[in-house]
Amino acid sequence: GAGVSQSPSNKVTEKGKDVELRCDPISGHTALYWYRQRLGQGLEFLIYFQGNSAPDKSGLPSDRFSAERTGESVSTLTIQRTQQEDSAVYLCASSSGTGDGYTFGSGTRLTVV
Amino acid sequence: DAKTTQPTSMDCAEGRAANLPCNHSTISGNEYVYWYRQIHSQGPQYIIHGLKNNETNEMASLIITEDRKSSTLILPHATLRDTAVYYCIVRVAGRIQGAQKLVFGQGTRLTINP
């Protein structure tokens, strides 16, 4: 597609359940990023993938968070045993890796009740 | 990682130029300055980036001081749709060779007034 696509756009889940968030990057973009944005806050880096290299997981807040990416395509962010503090908008971005600007998706709004 | 400092908020009259400052005094020689903006409930939108020369595109101009310790984003004729949070970001090298991640600060909340 023309842009970065994220699904679902909204997700309400019960505390303790696992959730999976999906990101479809722009075709041909080798780099993919996940960020979290809590209400009224700035963007918090979580993880990124570059080609077939091992991902940089330095921003993941706990071992309940994990992410996978198959080659240079779809990525999924998984949050296990969700907590209320996980409520946020989760944003995905991709880039060609050449230094040009990154393109963000519209995000998934996660609400843990 | 080089850090950026921006004012928390700014106001500008519609039709006037909006000048958004950013300090990045610890920037390294090979780090770029990027500007993004985020309109309410949307993902961030790329505006412009530069290394040391001034840059201009259809959205804005970027003025970088000679010592590279600060920069200014200029929206030449601000409209109500330019109301957003504007992020000034220095691109740092990630742990994966050749890859770079963006580290976002709190940004400047710019309000364009009619």
Secondary structure in 3-state letters for chain A: CCCCEEECCEEEECCCCCEEEEEECCCCCCEEEEEEECCCCCEEEEEEEECCCCCECCCCCCCCEEEEECCCCCEEEEECCCCHHHCEEEEEEEECCCCCCCEECCCEEEEEC
Q: Do A50 and B106 touch (CB under 8 A)?
A: no
Can you give the pLDDT at residue B98?
Answer: 55
For A2, the 3-state DSSP assignment is coil
Chain A residues near residue B49 by CB distance under 8 angstroms: 99, 101
Across the interface, do B102 and A102 touch by the CB < 8 Å criterion? yes
What are A79-98's pLDDT values in tens digits? 999 999 999 999 999 988 66
A93 contacts chain B (CB < 8 A): yes
| Strand bridging mode B70-75 / A5-7 | unpaired
pLDDT of residue B93: 55
Q: What percent of chain B has pLDDT over 70?
A: 90
pLDDT at A41: 86
Number of Cβ within 10 Å of residue A6's Cβ equals 23
Task: Summarize pLDDT for B67-102 with one digit per residue, the tens.
Answer: 999 999 999 999 999 999 999 998 865 555 555 677
What local confidence, expressed as pLDDT, does residue A12 receive? 98
pLDDT of residue A1 exceeding 60: no
Model confidence band, residue A100 (pLDDT cutoffs 50, 70, 90): low
Q: How many CA atoms lie within 13 A of B65 on its CB side?
A: 12
- The reported pLDDT for the residue numbered A51 is 82
Q: Which residue has the higher pLDDT, B19 or B3?
A: B19
A51 vs A97: CA distance, rounded Å? 9
pLDDT, residue A98, reads: 64
Decide if pLDDT at A107 tops 80.
yes
User: Nearest 5°: CA angle at A27, between A71 and B33?
Assistant: 95
In this predicted model, what pLDDT tens digit does every residue of A22-49 receive, in sequence order? 999 999 888 899 999 999 888 999 998 9
- Please determine, for residue B40, whether its predicted confidence score (pLDDT) is greater than 90: no
Phi, psi of B48 (to 5 degrees): -165, 160
- pLDDT of B20 reads 98
Q: Closest Cα of chain A to B107: distance in Å?
A: 7
For tokens 């530069």, name the residue: B50
Across A76-81, average pLDDT: 98
Whether B32 has its CB under 8 Å from any CB of chain A: the answer is yes
Give the model's pLDDT for residue A50: 86
Tokens of A29: 């973009």
Question: Higher pLDDT residue, A67 or A99?
Answer: A67
Question: Of the given ranges (A17-31, A41-55, B50-64), which has the lowest mean pLDDT?
Answer: A41-55
